[in-house]
Amino acid sequence: MIVEQARAKLNLALHVRARRADGYHELVTLFAFVDHGDAVSVKASDAPAFAVSGDFADALVGEADNLVLRAEHAFCAVFGIAQTHAIHLEKRLPVASGIGGGSADAAATLRALARLHGIAADDARLWQIADDLGSDVPACLASTTVIGKGRGEKLQPIAGAPGTPVLLVNPGIAVSTGEIFRRWDGADGGALPSGPVIEVAMASRNDLYPPAREIAPAIGDSIAWLETMAGVRMVRMSGSGATCFALFDTADDCAAAHRRARAEHPDWWAVATQLV
């Protein structure tokens, strides 16, 4: 049995540059990952099997197609694997929430299968599969702090800030990524500044936040609430939402904010964690 953690992805910054003719958007984003996420378990089996459990399993139960299964099928096709697999997904992250849950699950599946079948982690074919599966999957395959360009798939390493306390909150809503991109105002967000990762993040923004807030005012409410917390360094929405996050000076400040979130907003999903 091979187990891989599918870490939640954060966009510490997300600047949209232009609409592309292929329907995607040119962007530059600062990806980081936290010590919390889904878990994917893979083992060889006599017959293909897929099971899902966890707090958000209901969103995937009964689905005949998902990114985990697409990743497994693509891996077997590219590497000529006839062996079938039993895959279990522990779904701890909300779906359609801007933190790369499905992309992270696909990436974790690829890493687990590569380990199971002796494929090198840097095999170019593995990374091409990730790119084919989705714009965020290559970053999730790396699962480390990187700058993403193009659709987000062209990765440039940058030194991270491991151990930085983070509070994630989601007001319990799912938003449409496509609709939010359609409402983007078309203004070129520009390049990211240079410097240490947290300074870059604080000097940047998420260009999808205004349209997301327009579609789902609860996102703005989450941001406003996080900004009132003691010891907070930076507050932002991740991806196209609806998950928002705050970086804190200390783990104690983060834990205190987490307790307040659970007391004041029991309907929110809230997790205290840290950057990796």
Residues near 220 by Cβ (< 8 Å), separated by ≥ 6?
A: 213
Nearest alpha carbon to residue 209 among 170, 183, 174: 183
- Report the share of the chain in percent with pLDDT over 90: 96
Which regions of the chain carry the CATH code 3.30.230.10? 2-157
Of the candidate CATH numbers 3.40.50.300, 3.30.420.10, 3.90.700.10, 3.30.230.10, the domain formed by 2-157 belongs to 3.30.230.10
d(CA 195, CA 268): 34
Express each pLDDT in 23-66 by its tens digit.
Answer: 999 999 999 999 999 999 999 999 999 999 999 999 887 776 89
What does the pLDDT look like over 124-180, one tens digit per residue? Answer: 999 999 999 999 999 999 999 999 999 999 999 999 999 999 999 999 998 999 999
CB 153 within 8 A of CB 103: no
Give per-residue pLDDT as tens, 224-235. Answer: 999 999 999 999
Q: Which of 136, 148, 184, 177 is nearest to 7 (CA)?
A: 136
Q: What is the DSSP letter of 59?
A: G
The rounded mean pLDDT for the chain is 97
Report residue 96's pLDDT band, with 50, 70 and 90 as the boundaries: confident
Q: Where are the alpha helices (DSSP H) in 51-155?
A: 67-79, 101-117, 124-133, 137-142
Closest CA to 25 of 34, 16, 33: 16
Residues marked active site are found at 9, 136
Three-state SS at 84: strand
4 vs 7: CA distance, rounded Å: 9
pTM over 0.85: yes
Q: Which fold has domain 165-274?
A: Alpha-Beta Plaits (3.30.70)
Ranges for all domains in the chain classified under CATH 3.30.70.890? 165-274
Token pair of 87 as six digits: 């895959």
